[in-house]
Each structure stands twice: as structure tokens, then as C-alpha cells.
A and B are shown apart, each in its own frame.
Chain A
Amino acid sequence: MGKDTRKVDIKAFRFNAETDYLPYTKTYTMEVGKDELILDLMNRIKWEHDGSFSYRRSCRHGICGACGIKVNGKPVLACKQNAMELLDLFNNELVFEPQSKKRAVKDMIIDKKDFWDKHAAVKPYIVADVEPHPTSETKQSIEEFNALLDADLCIQCGSCHYACPALQVNEDYLGPAALAAAFRFTADTRDEASQERLEITFETGVGVWDCVKCYECAEACPKDLNPIEKITKLHNMQFEQGVARSNIATRHAEGFVRSIRKHGFLDEADIVVYSEGYLGMYKHLKTAIKMLKAGKIHWQDGVPFIDNMPKIKNLDEVQKLIDISMTNKL
């Protein structure tokens, strides 16, 4: 029996925006059973220790997405997450925090306005001109449905959104949840707003090009939906459907092909010049000089940047593979 329960100190973030000037931490000690969920422990804080402890919960089945919090920095859905698992992971310590401390309203409850605003911004619904009184269903084939991947299963819990470091720095960025929603409806064959959605998500500072590729969203999602996979698909669709215009980010992406065709390797200096354009290079002059001084930029023929790169063996294979495999145009 001893192994089935563990005495644990739970440190919980406490804050009431109406009465408290600063948040504080309170510790609750309890015996935790092997089958208890994080939601059970929050209930016990409320029922056994302090009735004012506040958190969102509703379905208790991992569907409504209300009970997302962070435990020791790890985003979890409280009603799905076994407590013992986390005790093993975090050396018998549990710290309960809201998904975003700066958005805390009361304890675990946050104001998710930014999340919903961004969700709404990508038109997360099918835009189609349908008969008001249709006589038949709008059917999809299995292939058409499969093209949505698993993006339709998102429960809008906010776990990925509040785990995204790019969003924490740049409040204009749409973030992984909204972008995954944009993919879901853009990939839907019944939808007629895909161009518009691709334009919205193309904008630099806002859309897909601001993803830092840290995979925090993939790790955070309690439904294992891998939001960044959908962000990559959106990137691809922007090129496929001709929405991508020449800018620093798109030149950076397709510049890889140009470079690999030439050397097999990425030409690190060339990709910066190609992405920025010669005029844009002034921003990088100081860095380039520092890198030159440290011997980081090669110039075998006495000239940096131009045709001085090592080439891989059997480069002709790579060139041929690019020619026969490329699905998007430069």
C-alpha cells in the first residue's frame, strides 16, 4: 500500500486580480494516490484546504479544453494528467501555475482574450456559398478528409499557445493554435477562403514566418496534434498556391534549394546575402566583420561569398534529385 500513495507538497500560484497587488505561492500538503489526476488534486485543494482556490473545469473528459494549466512549467490538461507521473518526472515536487501568469485573473484562471482574438483572426470556419435549402449533403471523400490530418481534433485548450516562446516576445504573432486552425480550414476542399487565409498567415511579424521552430507546441499539445506540422504545411501551401511573395523569409527558404544545387551544402554567407539582398547586408556588416576576424567566413580564392565553397562528393546526384523531386517552383 505504501507505494500507492505519496505525501506531497503542492505549491500553488495564488492571485486575485481584484484584491491582490502581487501574486504569491501557497503550499498544500496531501497524500497523493496513484490514480489521482491533477484535476483531482486541484479539487482537493479547493474542498479540503481553501474554498477560494479557483480554476476552470467542465467536461472532465479531455474534450472541453477548460482545465489547461502548467505544472512545473509543463503544460497539461488537468483532467488527463496523472499526478504520479509528474511526481516521478519532477522529483516529487509539484508547482501549479496558470498557463500565463501575466494573464492571471484568479489563481489558475486566465483571461484568454488574446487566444480567442487570434483564433478569430484566421477565420476558423468554412467559408462557402451554400444554398439556404440544400437538397443534398456537401460530401467529402476519405482522401479529402485525411488531408486535414488531425487538425480538426484541436480542443482550443491554449496549451500550445501559452507554451510558444515567439508569442511571449511578439504579441502580434498568431501562434501555433491559430495557425493550426488556419491550416485546418484552408486544407478543407469545401472552403472558399483559402487564398485569404494564406494571405493572413503569410504576413511577416504575424504569420508562419515568425515561428521559431522550437517544437514547444508539439510537446505541449495534450491531444498530440503537433501544431508545428500544420505550420510547415501552411508554408508549403503558400508556395504551392502562389501566395508567397519574394521577401526575406521566402528567399531564405527557397535560397536553400539554390545553394544545395550549387554546393550540396548550404552556403551560409550566400543565404544571408540572397535573403537580405545586397542593400540589406548593411545590417550584417558588423557581424560579418566579427565572423571574418574569427575565421568563420571562408575565402579560399581570396574573395568571400563567391564560389569559394567546398562541394559535396557526388553533387550531380543531388542536382538530379532536385530536378526530378522538386514540387514547388523557385
Chain B
Amino acid sequence: MSTLKYALFTGCTAKQSTPELLSSTLAVADKLGIEITILEEASCCGASHLQDFDEFLAHVLNARNICYAEKLGMTMITICNTCQLNSAMTKHALDSDPKLKARVNEKLAEVGLEYKGTSEVKHFLYCLIDEYGLDKIKEKVVTPLSQFNIAPFYGCHNIRPSELHHSSNGGENPYVPTSLDELIDALEGNPVDYDHKNKCCGFHVELQANHTSEVLAGNAMLDAIDNDADMMVTPCPLCHLKLDTYQDDVSKVMGRDVELPVLHMPQMVALALGATEKELGLNFHVQKATQFNPA
């Protein structure tokens, strides 16, 4: 297999509150021999909130990010579901609407850029599964996760709307997603089957509809806990922030103790591939997760 080369759109979170997401992603790439070029020019995807304020501006900024991947001739990979959704929505909108594409390119021309539509936009989870391959990952496992019950939490923006994502997520079914479960299997962990694995974590209304947010997070976490999960794992750092950082508040609203370590998808893979403590960055979690560090 020729070396896989990707342009990485880190998103804001991996550069700020979840540095462990970036370090573990780079560790996984390193262990698997995947070449990563970080798009240091890329700006925020708007996280759906900029889109609420000004949809056109959001398209311009997301198109600019993709331009930099196009310049490298690479697929742009994301490590955040919301970055994936917003980048893919812009790509879809521009690729299917020549008038909009022309309007956006008129703006981009002012800074010497042109959106062509030549780069794919894909979440790292699906690069690992569809392009690298689960069998090959399995061969590289040095620390099987066999003693852990791992609850996969898919996060909305990688699986819905399915029509948008199907070209880049292997046709994942939003009602019965399997990719994370299969990844956990490949790392020899025990995937936890629970109803809320494909539900909303509540992150996006944390500020303005706090109660809704805590209940949605609580429903998911308690469902995982009641099904004997030792940890939850998610491909989305926004889900991670909601589920890891707010467990005290969630506990208060739910009337039950909610205590569950939440790992980023690349942290789980890095753990099985024998990454170092520093690469895993489990110390950056609010809910203690350092117990998973290699002995």
C-alpha cells in the first residue's frame, strides 16, 4: 500500500481545550505510517453558530480552508464531527451550485485563492477504516484493549444528515452505525451496545438551553454506565467536552452519579498501538482517565 497522505484540519478544539486530541491523532498517524500535513492556515469552521449568523460568510471561510488542502493535492481530514459537517456542507453547496461557487470564488480571489472542488473532506475515523483498513490496524495492536467495555458514542455530525455524509463515511447508517464498534473490535476491546450511541450529546445548546443539554448528555452517559461501560469513546471533541467536562452538572440534573471517562477516538487507537503517556494526554481530562495510561 502506498503511503497515505492527508491534510489535517485540526479545528479549534484540538488547538485549545483538547490538546490530547491532536497529540494522539499524530501518534496514531506516526504508528501507522500515515503522513499528516497540518493546515496551519485553516480557520474555524463556524461550528454551526457562525452559520446561524451569516451562512454566506461561513461558506467563504470553509471554502478557504479546503483551498489549502487542494493546493497540497490531498484529502482534507477532520478530527471533529462538527468541522466535518460544516466543511462537507460547504463543499456540497459549492459543488452542486455553480452560482454560489462563483460568488464565493469572487471573494476568495481577493486573497489570491480559488475553490475548485478537487479535495475530498473526510473524518479521520473513516480514513482509518476505509482507507487504512481495520485488518491492518489489528496487526499493529500491541496493547489489546480486551479488559475494557468501551461504549462507542458516534456524535451527530458524522452520521447525520446521512445523504451528505454517505460519500465519505462508508455509507454508515445513522440508525445502526457500526464503524466505531468495528474499530473497538479490531483493537480487541468489548464494544458496549446501548440505545444512545447515535444520539445527541447536547453540546451546542450548553449556554442557551442548559437543562436540555445536561439531560441529553445524562441520558447517553447513564445508558452507557447501565450497560457496564468502563469508558466512552467518541470521534468528536465537542461531544468529548460536553460529556467529560460537565459530569458534575449532569449528575445534579439527572439525580444520579455520572462518572465515566470519555476518550477521543484517536486516544483509544493510540492506547492500543502503544503510544506514550505524553502522546495520549489523558491528564488533560476533567473526569480522571490516567488509569488507562500504559503501566
Contact = CB atoms under 8 A, between A and B. Distances in A.
B199 to A, nearest CB: 6
A298 B16 contact: yes
A214 B160 contact: yes
Contacts of A102: none
Nearest to A320: B111
Contact of B205 (A166, A266, A320): A166
Interface string B30-46: 00000000001111101
B156 interface: yes
B54 A239 contact: yes
Interface stretch (A4-12, A15-23, A180-188, A322-330): A322-330
B168 interface: no
Contacts of A216: 156, 160, 200
A310 B11 CA distance: 12
A312 interface: yes
A210 B286 contact: no
A267 B156 CA distance: 23
Given A166-B205, A170-B211, A218-B161, A321 B54 contact: no
Given A236-B54, A252-B49, A327-B57, A268 B113 contact: no
Contact of B216 (A165, A224, A276, A297): A165
A60 interface: no
B200 A264 contact: no
Interface stretch (B127-135, B242-250, B267-275): B242-250
Contact of A232 (B52, B60, B157, B245): B52
Nearest to A264: B43
B200 A212 contact: yes
A286 B248 contact: yes
B90 to A, nearest CB: 13
Interface stretch (A25-33, A49-57, A114-122, A253-261): A253-261
B176 A89 contact: yes
B215 interface: yes
Interface residues of B, number: 64
B204 interface: yes
Contacts of A314: 41, 111
B200 A165 contact: yes
Contacts of B157: 213, 215
Chain A interface residue bracket vs B:
35 or more
A93 to B, nearest CB: 11
A236 B57 contact: no
A235 B54 CA distance: 9
Interface stretch (A34-42, A103-111, A287-295): A287-295
Q: Which of A210, A226, A318, A326 has the most CB of B within 10 A?
A: A318
Contacts of A309: 16
Contacts of A150: none
B207 interface: yes
B207 A296 contact: no
A74 interface: yes
B64 A317 contact: yes
A275 B52 CA distance: 15
A166 to B, nearest CB: 6
Interface in B216-260: 216, 245-246, 248-249
B173 interface: yes
A126 interface: no
Contacts of B212: 166, 169-170, 173, 210, 212
Contacts of A219: 160-162, 174
A113 interface: no
Contact of A215 (B56, B161, B216): B161
A294 B209 contact: no
Given A276-B207, A294-B284, A321 B50 contact: no
Nearest to B40: A313
A195 interface: no
Given A169-B211, A268-B16, A328-B54, A260 B44 contact: yes
Nearest to A280: B207
Nearest to B246: A287
Nearest to B161: A218
B137 interface: no
B54 A264 contact: no
B107 A321 contact: yes
B97 interface: no
A205 interface: yes
Contacts of B163: 224
A134 to B, nearest CB: 35
Contacts of B199: 165, 214
B205 A210 contact: yes
Contacts of B53: 235-236, 239, 250, 253-254, 256-257, 328
Contacts of A253: 49-50, 52-53
A92 interface: no
A210 B52 CA distance: 12
A170 B85 CA distance: 25
Contact of A287 (B49, B50, B213, B249): B249
A266 B12 contact: yes
A256 B204 CA distance: 13
Given A265-B43, A318-B43, 20 more contacts: A73-B175, A73-B195, A74-B175, A89-B176, A210-B212, A224-B163, A232-B55, A236-B55, A239-B54, A253-B49, A260-B61, A266-B12, A266-B44, A276-B207, A287-B246, A287-B249, A290-B248, A296-B284, A325-B107, A327-B56
15 contacts: A89-B176, A165-B216, A212-B212, A215-B160, A219-B161, A239-B53, A248-B208, A253-B52, A260-B43, A265-B15, A290-B286, A291-B17, A298-B16, A317-B111, A318-B64
The 3 lowest CB-CB distance pairs between A and B, nearest first, are: A215-B160, A235-B52, A214-B200
